[in-house]
Chain A
Amino acid sequence: MIRSDLLAKASGATEFGTDLAEPEMLWAALVLAPIAHGRIRRVDLSKARAMPGVHAVVGAEETARLLGPGAGDPERPLFPSTEVRYRGQPLAAVAASSLAEARAAARAVQMEFDPLPIAGDLEEVVAEWPGSEAGSDPRMIAHVRASNGDLGEEFRLAEFVHAETYRTNGVAQVALEPHACVAKVDVGRWFVRTSTQTPFGIREDASSILGVPEASLVVEGSWVGGGFGGKTAALVEPYALLLSAATGRWVRLSLSYTEEFVLGRSTLPAVVRLESAVRAGRVTARRVRLLLDTGASLPGRDFATGYAIGFLLGPYRSDAFDIEGYAVRTNKPPFGPHRAPFAPQCSFVADSHMDSIARRLGVDPVAFRLAHVWRAGDVTPLGQAVGPFGLAECLEKAGALLAIWRRELPTADGFGLGVGCGYWSTNAGAGGEALLRLSPNELTIDQGEREIGSGSVVRGLVAVAERVLKIPSDAVRVGYSDTSRAPFDSGVFGSRTVGALGQAVEKAARRLATELGRRLGTSDPATLARDDDQLVAISGAVRRPVRELLTSEELRAGGLEFPGQHAAPPGRIDDSRVGAGTFYPYTDFTGAAHVALVHVDRATGAVRVLRYAAFHDAGVVIDPATFRAQVEGGVAMGLGSALTEETLWGPDGRLLNPSLLDYRIPTLGEVPPIEVHAVPGHPGAGPFGAKGLGEPPIIPVPAAVANAVADATGARVREMPLTPERVARTLNLLASGGTGRG
């Protein structure tokens, strides 16, 4: 089945956010803070205003004038008026007749600051690792803690305690399309057309930032040139709207790629300490401490720490545990959600740790995991019930394949094999709605998402309708409209499109099938087939053109309509185990086990991944081609996180590698062939038993690679990415009798 959007994309006909243009539009540029932390003494816009082609220059004062005093969210001002909190924070914005003129004027803005100390390095906080009393430390914007069982007793009884410290570094989104939009404010109607994963989310966000009611804001999504989590919150949109309000003209704002690296929402570094009590070949208790750099995020807006800390126990039983995390404020841009926010890093830590314990015990790492892994019917450490869950089966299959590859492994030095595990659940957001409309020759799925590339909208939602109604897929059209007309939906994130919005499509399609069956005079639901260019409804032996089944009123209105809703299921966490902060009770667990075959060059530390296989429980796979494409793409992205991708920050808070030359994502020659296997038999809550798959494929990759490196060399690299320098350093430490054993 060929996706309906591919030919237009391969012909250059698809209009992305960066391609949007309007007659007589102005071009915008942002003025970014040149320091990471300081009091603002002066932001003088007068020189910029006098530059050729300039139509408007707006800063904090002009914003208050344009929006009204006190409008907008004081915690998230468009431009700060007193203090700069990260290098690259927007301080003013320019609209001009051309991009060159806008950029020239932005450079002409004069700024003076009183510098303040820069908090940039997590290691400074690590040195004096915060205790539980640090909840009131102003450097910590969030504190989460959960525990259960008699930890002291288990540690006392332990045969040994396996203690390790791991570090992870920041990953940038690197959607090839930077953030871009066009906006126009016209008699109280604030309209923006933008490349986003979440049109309704942008409406809510822009409303809060600008202080404009949602009813006055209209967001229309364009095609999206890659999202991965970076296009889920307002970024360029409020500035473009503000500049349009100032000029009365269409305004286009697109970030440069350097700006995209800085402002496009990276993840940031973390340090994790783990201690596991081991007795009789089993982990009996775990203590985990997390320090997560959340950049200039604000208190109350941190989502990542509670998200991450649960994942750090891995998909493994832990009767006794104590997990505690702090979100640390630094003078970096705010932490952002990148594909499975922070789960690949957590899997790297949790699954390297498990692998390391297995090696210390001298037991098979796969069997060791199988002795601990959650199975259907288990309860997670946070008290969530585990439904159908195929991770154990994924692991068994991964282990069997690993044994085959082991026999084929070259005997030369430096080759090794590793397994990585990961789990995920669907974040259903605030739910969503779909509206199906059947006309005599077409079925339209009206909905509020945009296709971001995975195929979850153009193929996933269509496949659901296809399965219910047996309709040929080329008779199904996905309708996109702006937020003033589309049914509400939370957007494309959290692996939720097929798993959550797909349920709304399924419900609507079933209602439609039942109603068509009724109109055919049968008690069975009808299916649809095509006869020439007309759709025909069929139930048993009865068969009539859809045209004859619709009333004249329905024909005039464009078809027979049925809505379907999906509400987020009420997930549950055992509150008695929560000591502080927010945890997320997302449901519908999916699991994956990956196998990597690597070669490590002992002289240089360079790691090459030569073979790779991925086993996924994605519930019932409703479209095999899309399933394969998602897994291949997620694994490749994970290889980048595992081996090369790392945002580097200077002591002055500057991002040192904001380019694709210095921040290396995998190229065509660096990704090995990837075997992709579905492990069926563990249906999820999605349509026909589907589970979300947008995020899971990236999660186990860094762990699989790190465990293979340990297998190849005996060295445990406890910091990702596994750059040649880090691998070589660990090998040298090991050779000189220091730490580093796997």
Chain B
Amino acid sequence: MGDSELVVNGRATALASVPEDERLLDTLRWRLGLRGTKEGCRSGDCGACVVLVDGRSTLSCLTLTHELPGASVTTIESISEDPVGRVVQDAFVAEGAVQCGYCTPGFVVALTGLLKELPPSAPLPELLDEMQGNLCRCTGYGSIVRAIVRAREATR
């Protein structure tokens, strides 16, 4: 148990008495009240909890908060402040790539991270392959693939 700090959505955030087994997912959802990041399987299989840690797409359910002192965490709540995040969000809405919406924050954040990380020349199949860690039970992925294509075109 120790004090820690994170930069969450651009704001320095002090965290008091963080147990060693506290997951970033719980820090965000219950300590900081940022419940836009969803809890699904809690075992790294579904991708609903993806956030960006220092810009990299990260499963917050398998990340221990005390191991990230000073890291910068971006969640769905601030994704629209990022120009790429905004494009991705708009693409999901425009393509109707959202049904129940529970997986959507994870998809939007993960795709935002990827589009920023991969070179613009990265082929579409590579992008789609990288997105396989996010599960959706409603859409059948057709509309999500169309949203990914749309966001990719708009950010190139």
Contacts and interface: CB of A to CB of B under 8 A. Distances in A.
Given A10-B108, A629-B143, A632-B143, A225 B102 contact: yes
B141 A228 contact: no
Interface stretch (B42-50, B63-71, B115-123): B42-50
Contact of A2 (B36, B94, B103, B136): B94
- Give chain B's interface secondary structure class: loop
B85 to A, nearest CB: 10
A187 interface: no
A3 B95 CA distance: 10
A225 B41 contact: no
What size tier do the contact residues of chain A reach?
Answer: 35 or more
Contact of B141 (A12, A223, A257, A671): A671
A6 B43 contact: no
Nearest to A667: B132
Contacts of A176: 38, 40-41, 46, 48, 100, 102-103, 135-137
A129 to B, nearest CB: 36
Given A176-B40, A256-B42, A668 B101 contact: no
Interface stretch (A14-22, A54-62, A392-400, A460-468): A14-22
Contacts of A661: 43, 45
A632 B137 CA distance: 11
B60 interface: no
A625 interface: yes
Given A13-B36, A673-B142, A175 B100 contact: yes
B102 A177 contact: yes
Interface residues of B, number: 50
A660 interface: yes
A5 B43 contact: no
A635 interface: yes
Contacts of A21: 30, 35
A632 B144 CA distance: 11
B38 A7 contact: no
A53 interface: no
Contacts of B132: 667-669
Contacts of B99: 453-455, 629, 633
A620 interface: no
Nearest to B75: A12
Interface in A618-647: 625, 629, 632-637
A357 B6 CA distance: 66
A224 interface: yes
A225 B34 CA distance: 17
Greatest chain B CB density within 10 A among A175, A223, A633 is at A633
A12 B77 contact: yes
Nearest to B125: A669
Nearest to A16: B102
B38 to A, nearest CB: 7
B140 A634 contact: yes
Nearest to A635: B140
A674 interface: yes
Interface of B: 29-30, 34-43, 45-46, 48, 75-77, 79-80, 89, 92-94, 96, 98-105, 108, 128-129, 131-132, 134-145
